[in-house]
Chains A and B, each alone.
Chain A
Amino acid sequence: MANGNASNLEIRDLRVQIEGEEREILKGINLTVEAGKIHAIMGPNGSGKSTLAYTLAGHPRYEVLDGEVLFKGQNILELEADERARTGLFLAFQYPVSVPGVSVANFLRAAINAHRAEEGKDSRQTAIPVAEFRKRLTEQMKQLDMAPEFARRYLNEGFSGGEKKRLEVLQMAMLQPSVAILDETDSGLDVDALRIVGEGVNRVKEQNPTMGVLVITHYQRLLNYIKPDYVHALVNGRIVRSGGPELALELDEIGYKRLVEEVAANAG
């Protein structure tokens, strides 16, 4: 898919509040997620991790006060959520939403066709042939250890925590984004599910080496499976430290409490 076009995702001076609340949550984020690289953002609860994820994806509840996010030559903050997705941005939800009556297969086919229609604006590219879609879906589901019936189930309805996260990775695998944001994909997973999901992400990355990945997580454990190139610490709406993979281990060791105290001391 042409979505696979490499592009950095450049977040500049991003300041965000929740609509209707006079409280800034992101207080000027600067971060470039490089094409082909894995960046991890780690931080305590309430630091603004999920706000960053939702804001990048275009959730209407998050109000951008300032800043821009450049991706493929445009400021995507000016686009609707669906336009951002068709540009090649993907968010794996921390809490995937259930949609009764909409089957996994029908939804994925509609999503792929929406992406193809976008790319085909000039070349009249058509919908994905059903056989090709089925083949790809079956392959990807098999790799994620998902039973074939899964395709007929309704989106996230009655899914276990592990099934929900696997469905997020399946969608990512099918849509082949240029940049993927994984919002606490490890939450609610046991060790086995964590491994399946982690390996799934790595496989998508192997198939699509120029994909940039932003892994948002509270714990270091997911990073045992998805090895980051860079790690950033988010505290109180700001990135306070950046470094290599060793930073994740360090944060895990010292704990966020110390980091928060350090930040407070420096600010004072």
Chain B
Amino acid sequence: MQANLAFQTLPTLNELTPEVLEQGRMGEQRRAALATARQLELPVWRRTDLKDFSIQNLRPVFGSVTVETTADAAAQGVYVADFQTAANEKADLLAQYLGTAVANDHNTFVAYNAALAQDGLVVYVPRNVELAEPIRVTYTLPAGGQAIFPRTLIVTEANSRVTVVEEFRSADLQSYGAVVPVAELFANDGSEIRFISLQTLGQNAYQLGAQRAIVGRDARVWWLAGAVGANVQHIDMEVALQGNGAGLEWYGFTFGTGSQQLLWAPTVKHIGLSTEGQIDFRSAVADTAYVVFDGMIDIEKGAQGTNSDLRDAALHLSDKARSDSIPGLEIDANEVKAGHGSTSGQIDEEQLFYLMARGLSREVATQMIVLGFFSAIVERIPLDDVQERVLEMIQAKM
């Protein structure tokens, strides 16, 4: 199945009147969210510079999503649809889950997403169904002056399994615009969601979003976050390990060049007993780019037996490139194992010399060391084509 919609452009957010939003229950929610979005101040983010950005002057556009799934999914009873179709067909599912992981008033951008999300992906996997083939979704920012509001909802019932690969990109790599994604993932007991979210937007785009997962008993989330595009990115992410024995493997990579400012803020919340979290993010930063890793382990009261580890590393490829790492650790339980480690540094001159002493030019040797740096992440990707895509993304930055 492939859904490919025609573009529909709305007036700018400034000029938009609530009447243009649809009727019915969904429409009411959208109008409420629009009012919320307009009431909320811009978030104050110390490490994300929004001074040249105004979401009010952008025009929302619909039709940016392409969903690819397989006949197999339908045959196994897996529901896969773009968001608007699901809003019509699966009202109960949306009523149960939508906005429960990421509240509409989380910030003004999330509220705009709640008001304007038509493009998106809804996946519902029934009990005991394991879907081998991944579901793929692409969001394309069509042109300058526009904003898209992708919405992802993934629900896996007990002992099921699904993989979703999403990518955000720009049709025109020069255009100024915004992608405001919100994703909500619900891995119910014993199920597994593998979520791969890649960002390859053009150099003048803003990516400002929130993504959350709630993980049930003995359920697992495997998550890869990758960003090489956009002028500014601020993605706020959280995984709540709610059920006993819930598990998380979370990997991320960023490659900042030019004057890009790319921020990830992943938090893992340990709530259930004996939950396990592993976070490993890596960034390369060149030119005058700036990358931020604002990671957090939060072990709540009663979360005994937690085992959590958070690492991040930044590789600086120029003297003017910057990175900040702010790993945090909050522990309210006593029988836990938790650790974090953060490294940053330049390319090792001795490594460079060793490779050059075998005939590789400085350029090729540098590329090899950078690829080697990312390989700790790349080699964990369980899908060959995603692995190749990630290598392409990294190589395109060198």
Contacts of A107 in B (CB 8 A): 355, 358, 368
Contact with A along B342-359 (1 / 0, CB 8 A): 000000111101111111
Supposing A60-B349, A82-B365 touch, asked if A101 and B360 sit within 8 A by C-beta, the answer is no
Contacts of A98 in B (CB 8 A): 351
Taken together as a complex, chains A and B put the C-alpha atoms of A58 and B365 apart, in Å, by 15
A230 within 8 A of B: no
| B375/A101 in contact, CB under 8 A | yes
| A100/B359 in contact, CB under 8 A | no
Contacts of A57 in B (CB 8 A): 357
Which of A67-75, A89-97, A238-246 faces chain B? A89-97
Taken together as a complex, chains A and B put the C-alpha atoms of A106 and B367 apart, in Å, by 13
Q: Specify the chain B residue showing the minimal Cβ separation from A95.
A: B350
| A100/B361 in contact, CB under 8 A | no
| A114/B351 in contact, CB under 8 A | no
Q: Specify the chain A residue showing the minimal Cβ separation from B348.
A: A97
Contacts of B376 in A (CB 8 A): 100-101
Contacts of A81 in B (CB 8 A): 353, 356-357
Contacts of B350 in A (CB 8 A): 97
Q: Which of B357, B361, B364, B371 contacts A58 (CB 8 A)?
A: B357
Q: Specify the chain B residue showing the minimal Cβ separation from A108.
A: B358
B372 within 8 A of A: yes
Interface hits, A98-117 → B, CB 8 Å: 98-102, 106-107, 110-111, 114-115
B373 within 8 A of A: yes
Does more than half of chain B's interface fall in helix, strand or loop, or is it mixed? Answer: helix
Taken together as a complex, chains A and B put the C-alpha atoms of A175 and B365 apart, in Å, by 17
Supposing A82-B362, A114-B359, A114-B364 touch, asked if A102 and B353 sit within 8 A by C-beta, the answer is no
| B372/A154 in contact, CB under 8 A | yes
Shortest Cβ gap from A242 to chain B (Å): 27
B176 within 8 A of A: no
Contact with A along B363-381 (1 / 0, CB 8 A): 0110011011111100000
Shortest Cβ gap from A21 to chain B (Å): 17
A86 within 8 A of B: yes
The number of chain A residues touching the other chain, given as a range, is 20 to 34
Q: Specify the chain B residue showing the minimal Cβ separation from A114.
A: B359
Taken together as a complex, chains A and B put the C-alpha atoms of A86 and B364 apart, in Å, by 14
Contact with B along A204-232 (1 / 0, CB 8 A): 00000000000000000000000000000
| A86/B368 in contact, CB under 8 A | no
Contacts of A115 in B (CB 8 A): 359
Contacts of B361 in A (CB 8 A): 82, 114
Contacts of A96 in B (CB 8 A): 354
Contacts of A80 in B (CB 8 A): 356, 362
Contact with A along B86-121 (1 / 0, CB 8 A): 000000000000000000000000000000000000
Shortest Cβ gap from B166 to chain A (Å): 26
Name which of B350, B358, B360, B362 has the most chain A CB atoms within 10 A of its CB: B358
Q: Which of B359, B362, B369 contacts A86 (CB 8 A)?
A: B359
A59 within 8 A of B: yes
Interface hits, A48-88 → B, CB 8 Å: 57-60, 80-82, 84-86
| B354/A100 in contact, CB under 8 A | no
| A101/B362 in contact, CB under 8 A | no
Contacts of B357 in A (CB 8 A): 57-58, 81-82, 84-85, 91, 93
A118 within 8 A of B: yes
Q: Which of B353, B368, B375 contacts A59 (CB 8 A)?
A: B353
A185 within 8 A of B: no
| A100/B358 in contact, CB under 8 A | no
Shortest Cβ gap from A240 to chain B (Å): 28
Q: Which of A58, A59, A114 contacts B360 (CB 8 A)?
A: A114
| B358/A85 in contact, CB under 8 A | yes
Q: Specify the chain A residue showing the minimal Cβ separation from B378.
A: A101
Shortest Cβ gap from A154 to chain B (Å): 7
Taken together as a complex, chains A and B put the C-alpha atoms of A59 and B371 apart, in Å, by 23
A171 within 8 A of B: yes
**A–B complex contacts, Cβ < 8 Å, 15 sampled:** A80-B362, A82-B356, A82-B357, A82-B362, A86-B359, A91-B357, A97-B350, A99-B351, A99-B355, A100-B373, A101-B376, A107-B355, A114-B358, A114-B364, A171-B358
- Residue positions of B touching A, CB distance < 8 A: 348-351, 353-362, 364-365, 368-369, 371-376
| Closest 10 pairs (CB-CB, A-B) | A101-B372, A101-B375, A85-B359, A97-B354, A111-B358, A102-B372, A82-B356, A114-B359, A81-B356, A86-B359
Contacts A85-B359, A100-B372 supplied; 8 other A-B pairs, CB < 8 Å: A58-B356, A60-B349, A81-B357, A82-B365, A85-B357, A93-B357, A110-B364, A114-B359
